[in-house]
Amino acid sequence: MKVAIVGATGMIGRRLTTSLLAHGDEVLAISRRGDSVADAPGVAWDPAKGALDGSVLVGVDAVVNLAGANIGRGRWTGARKREIVESRLVTTSRLVDAIGPAGPRTLINASAVGYYGEGDLPVDESAPPADDFLGVTCRKWEAAALAAQRNGVRVILLRNGVVIAREAEVLKRQLLPFKLGLGGPVGGGRQWWSWIHIDDVTGLIGFALEHPEVRGPINAVAPHAVRQREFAQALGHVLGRPTMLPTPGFALKLAMGESSSIALSGQHVIPRAAMKAGYTFVYPDVEPALRAELDGG
Extents of the domains making up the chain: 2-163+196-221
Q: Is the pTM of this model over 0.85?
A: yes
Q: How confident is the model at residue 297, as a pLDDT?
A: 47
Q: How confident is the model at residue 253, as a pLDDT?
A: 63
* DSSP structure string for 272-283: HHHHHHT---S-
| Helices and strands (H, E) in the chain, number of each type | 10, 13
Tally Cβ neighbours within 10 Å of residue 250: 11
192-193 and 226-227 strand pairing: antiparallel
Q: How many angstroms from the chain centroid is the CA of residue 293?
A: 17
Helix locations, the chain, DSSP H? 11-22, 78-99, 133-146, 169-179, 198-210, 228-239, 249-256, 261-264, 272-277, 286-294
Q: Look at residue 145 and give its three-state secondary structure.
A: helix
Tally Cβ neighbours within 10 Å of residue 286: 24
**Amino acid sitting at position 126:** S
| Correct CATH for 2-163+196-221 of 3.40.50.720, 3.40.718.10, 3.40.190.10, 3.40.50.410 | 3.40.50.720
Phi, psi of 75 (to 5 degrees): -75, 150
Cβ neighbors of 168 (< 8 A, separation 6 or more) are: 11, 162, 198
Query: How many residues comprise the chain?
Result: 297
* DSSP structure string for 67-95: ----TTSS---HHHHHHHHHHHHHHHHHH
Q: How confident is the model at residue 248, as a pLDDT?
A: 61
**Amino acid sitting at position 114:** G
Q: Look at residue 190 and give its three-state secondary structure.
A: coil
> Could you tell me if 94 and 51 are in contact, meaning their C-beta atoms sit under 8 angstroms apart?
yes
HSE-up of residue 184 (Cα within 13 Å, Cβ side):
10
Bridge partners for 74 per DSSP: none
Bridge partners for 154 per DSSP: 106
List the chain residues with pLDDT less than 50. 296-297
Q: What angle do CA 133, 219, 125 make, to 5 degrees?
A: 80
Q: Is the dihedral of CA 131, 169, 13, 238 positive or negative?
A: negative
| CA separation for the pair 249, 7 (Å, rounded) | 32
Q: How confident is the model at residue 170, as a pLDDT?
A: 80
- Stated as kind and residue range, the H or E segment containing 64 is strand 62-65
| CA separation for the pair 106, 288 (Å, rounded) | 32
Give percent helix, percent strand, percent coil of the chain, each to the nearest 5.
Answer: 45, 20, 35
